[in-house]
Amino acid sequence: MDQPTRGADRNRSLADQADPATDGMLLPSLGDGITLLDVEGGRGVPILQSLVLDHLLLHDGPAFWVDANGHATTTTLAQIAPSQRLLNRIHVARGFTAYQHYGAVCDLPTAVNKSIQMSTTDAGATGRGGPSRDEDTSPHTPALIVAPAVDAQYRADDTLGETHAKTLQARTLARLATYADGYDIPVLVTRNERNEFTEPIATVADHHLECEQTRMGPRVVGEDFEMLVYPVDDGAYYQTTFAYWRQLLAARATQVDVEPTTPAPSTPTPEGVGTGVTADGETVAAT
């Protein structure tokens, strides 16, 4: 039987029709190369883990995670993951000092080759009966490399002077860039602080994601992505930003043969503040 369409679903469909490229995008996709995720007001462990799991759901292959400061906590990973089998594809190494962290990054090719050997052996053992539908039949190349708080150990190691710490961090970033290029995969990194010491991380990054904490939850913005809606338990969506409503109204104007226009503000407004035009033509900013 045909079920009544909720208003939120109609709005969502309208927005999708206006820009089909954003269909279903509640989390940003990770492109090849290094992606820097900056999280405002905290470490952002749940959002980082959500991006990793979302990528693994859409791509075959394992993820290799070089951890620092406990970002690979299994408690939240198990809570967020929709399937426990997904967790089997995440391989974690932890570095508790600068040299251990750098060593783990250098050993990534060895870990990848070891994963290939194990996958080949497992495939040979299960090949006689044929793999089940739920078994992991992913290719052997990595799907993703994750290095959260990539600056943490180099900043905190008392045995390193400032020059040596910067050098070792630069070598780590060079290795990660080499893996991103060699495997043609995304490398997702975060940093503890934004300052001169971590500026090289932003410089080497091919993509940059900004995450801010709001009352509705984390909001992620990137070069080609902006989180405009938030899902809730019953499947509806909260409309949260002026950009979302502008998108809906532009699509509605097209439907009724009214060409949408966006008046340019006469004066600059603070970032993130919406603007509007009154019936008298006066530009105003929302407070």
Q: Which residues contact 114 (CB under 8 A, 6 or more apart)?
A: none
pLDDT over 70 at 36, yes or no: yes
User: For position 7, what pLDDT does the model report?
Assistant: 43
Average pLDDT over residues 205-233: 83
End-to-end C-alpha distance for the chain, whole angstroms = 46
- 59: helix, strand or coil: coil
pLDDT over 80 at 258, yes or no: no
Q: Which residue has the higher pLDDT, 124 or 44?
A: 44
How buried is 88 (Cβ within 10 angstroms: 0-12 exposed, 13-18 middle, 19+ buried)? exposed
Look at the alpha carbons of 267, 273, 274, 276 in this order and tell me if their dihedral is positive or negative. Answer: negative
Q: Which residues contact 64 (CB under 8 A, 6 or more apart)?
A: 91, 93, 108, 111, 112, 142, 144, 145, 146
Average pLDDT over residues 92-105: 95
Answer yes or no: pTM beyond 0.85: no
pLDDT over 80 at 96, yes or no: yes
pLDDT over 50 at 19, yes or no: no
Task: Tell me if 61 sits within 8 A of 141, measured CB to CB.
Answer: yes
As a whole number, the mean pLDDT across the chain is: 78
User: For position 262, what pLDDT does the model report?
Assistant: 54
> What length does the chain have?
287
Q: What domains, with CATH codes, occur in the chain? A: 28-117+138-256 (3.40.50.300)
pLDDT-wise least confident of 2-16, 36-50, 89-103, 141-155: 2-16
User: For position 122, what pLDDT does the model report?
Assistant: 63
CA–CA separation, 46 vs 218, rounded Å? 10
pLDDT in tens, 127-186: 554 444 344 444 568 999 999 999 999 998 888 888 999 999 999 999 999 999 999 999
Q: H helices of 59-97, where? A: 74-80, 84-87
| Best-predicted range by mean pLDDT (28-32, 84-88, 116-120, 273-277) | 28-32
User: For position 82, what pLDDT does the model report?
Assistant: 86
The conformation of residue 73, written as its DSSP 8-state character, comes to -
pLDDT over 80 at 271, yes or no: no
